[in-house]
Chains A and B, each alone.
Chain A
Amino acid sequence: MIAALSQNTVNLAYLVAAVCFVVGIRMLSSPRTARVGNVVSAAGMIVAIVFTLLLESVDRYAFVLAGIAIGATIGAVGARTVRMTAMPQMVALLNGAGGGAAAGVAIAEFDRLTRFGGTPPGETAAAIVTSTVLGGLTLAGSVVAFGKLQELIRGRPIVFPGQQVVNALVFSAAVALAVISAPAGETWLLGLAFVVAAVFGVLFVLPIGGADMPVVIALLNAFSGLGAVGAGFVLDNNALIIGGALVGASGTLLTLLMAKAMNRSVANVLFGAFGQIQTSLGERGEVEGTVRATTPHDVAVQLSYSRKVIIVPGYGMAVAQAQHDIGALADLLAEQGVDVKYAIHPVAGRMPGHMNVLLAEAQVPYSQLYEMERINPEFPQADVALVIGANDVTNPAANTDPASPIYGMPILEVDKAASVVVLKRSMNPGFSGIDNDLYLDPKTTMLFGDARESVLHLITAMKDQ
């Protein structure tokens, strides 16, 4: 024991930590102050950790330091080596780690409380149930989300008949096991509840398609926060309650924002299995029209003679790692006097803010990035809308076709531009499996190929002129 601080002193340190977290998040409201805000949050975390280590009850330092060393190594190596395009996967894994830790805390504390035949008091038991079940489902759900984003698991929705009944039963079983473990005082029952909750996590995320990932990641973020809140109630620890509540609020808010950007309820995203709707509708008449393929040279000429070009990036940009070359192309256009802007749809990509991060990596000034509401009125004045790997967020059917599954979803109105150039790998429909009539529009031309290679060809063609 190095020094023995009273619980009261440590609680005051937790108050300092909580203030740091709130100020840190507050400073995220502007890119200028955001990085310092992150440092402020870190200061709060360090205060909380150091004072906890000095608590009288903490004295197994060898184990504690071992755990911190292992975790810190994994975290630091992971965070430094992950590519910006893999950020959604990274965030998913971090959600899972936090959820798993919360469950671990609850299970270990349960075991301590019941070691000598005791049972936890009612409110502690309720908190243990909450963090074990939420933790198990967040951990496993995040791993599946990671697998989907890393393309280890099919991104398309995976569905089977009676799925929702099965899911509901599995979830109920997890909760029931956790609840009966308390009066029984049996840790293995709680452990089983954790495992069953993990099975539910897998079943829960598997049917959700790739395009709906922004909602899922935000929701798992909220769950991991609530898991921490639960652990806070288990240990009567204010730092965990406040920190968890902040994260729960953030995750909930993002979940609602993402669902709103798709004009769907959260329930519909989670239980609707997007791709299914389209197939069950059957063929809604063969689509008429022809697709016009074009060449990099023609697009280069078209772009050079434009006054205003709006670039619309999507997940395809992330897959092809094309952000740097797109930035270079935009600079080249700007040098020729073309007005270049980027249109960012809230659910473009696989997590909230995905496109912004990639374009920031490519050093695109954020003054050129426009959110949907601000850029939509500008499409009618644009000579070219350059769509790079975006699909569903540009589909005019969302405005015009009540039979379309995405009808009512706010979209980037690229079809209002004088002409549209779409960079796309092939004519395969997007992740949601919905046809995009934009590609058949007479003013649309398609430049097929990997987004990055196409952009590089464009740059070469522009320089050759």
Chain B
Amino acid sequence: MDVLLAIELTILVLAAFLGFEVISKVPAMLHTPLMSGANFIHGIVIVGAILVLGKADDTFTRVVGLLALALATANVVGGWFVTDRMLGMFKRRPEPPRKDDA
């Protein structure tokens, strides 16, 4: 096993543990925004698509790379706006007035 692979596996395992720790603190109320926020974050594959398409020099890799980049960007942009829209709704609102027992 080469050095790079060992380092990458280390990063993977530590990131997974960190993910479990941080995500287990998210309340059930916010589980949908958590999922769409996670959707946004796996949009990081956009970086991979840019790298592949950015050096593509034949038709096949260009087509596949372009598809991948379009999907990844839709994922990033869509995931973020949807999450933002949902979180914008979780505003605190004054409690509805309670009438005292008459």
Interface residues of A (CB under 8 A from B): 14, 17-18, 21-22, 24-26, 28-32, 34-35, 37-38, 41-42, 45, 48-49, 52-53, 55, 57-61, 63-64, 66-68, 70-72, 74-76, 78-80, 82, 84, 87, 90-91, 93-95, 97-98, 100-105, 107-109, 111-112, 115, 123, 187, 217-218, 221, 224-225, 227-229, 231-254, 257, 330-331, 334-337, 344, 346, 351-354, 356-357, 360-361, 363, 365-367, 369, 371
Contacts and interface: CB of A to CB of B under 8 A. Distances in A.
Given A108-B52, A360-B90, A45 B76 contact: yes
Nearest to A60: B54
28 contacts: A24-B37, A34-B30, A38-B37, A64-B50, A79-B79, A87-B32, A90-B36, A97-B71, A101-B46, A101-B48, A101-B75, A105-B51, A105-B68, A225-B38, A228-B44, A232-B8, A237-B47, A240-B44, A240-B48, A246-B19, A249-B17, A254-B34, A334-B97, A346-B28, A351-B35, A363-B93, A365-B96, A366-B90
B33 to A, nearest CB: 6
A13 to B, nearest CB: 10
Nearest to A20: B41
Interface of B: 1-2, 4-5, 8, 11-12, 15-20, 22-58, 60-62, 64-102
B101 to A, nearest CB: 6
B60 A187 contact: yes
Contacts of A32: 92
Nearest to A77: B78
A239 B64 contact: no
Given A31-B29, A241-B8, A337-B98, A94 B20 contact: no
Contact of B55 (A49, A60, A101): A60
Contacts of B55: 57-60, 112
A218 B62 CA distance: 32
A35 B89 CA distance: 10
B5 to A, nearest CB: 5
A196 B40 CA distance: 27
B27 to A, nearest CB: 7
A115 B58 contact: yes
Residue in A61, A74, A217 whose Cβ sees the most chain B Cβ within 10 Å: A74
Please list the 10 inter-chain residue pairs (A to B) with the smallest Cβ-Cβ separation, ordered nearest first: A71-B73, A104-B68, A249-B19, A58-B54, A67-B69, A353-B31, A75-B77, A75-B78, A243-B44, A79-B81
A87 B28 CA distance: 16
A228 B35 contact: no
B45 A111 contact: no
Nearest to A80: B81
A71 B46 CA distance: 10
Nearest to A100: B71
Nearest to A226: B42
A154 B64 CA distance: 32
A25 B45 contact: no
Contacts of A239: 44, 47
B15 A68 contact: no
Nearest to A249: B19
A63 B66 contact: yes
Given A59-B54, A70-B70, A105-B49, A371 B28 contact: yes
B49 A357 contact: no
B37 to A, nearest CB: 6
A247 B38 contact: yes
A87 B86 contact: yes
A53 B54 CA distance: 8
A239 to B, nearest CB: 5
A351 B62 CA distance: 36
Nearest to A238: B11
Contacts of A227: 42, 45
A317 B99 CA distance: 28
B19 A64 contact: no
Contacts of B47: 14, 48-49, 52, 237, 239-240
A361 B94 CA distance: 15
A266 to B, nearest CB: 16
A353 B32 contact: yes
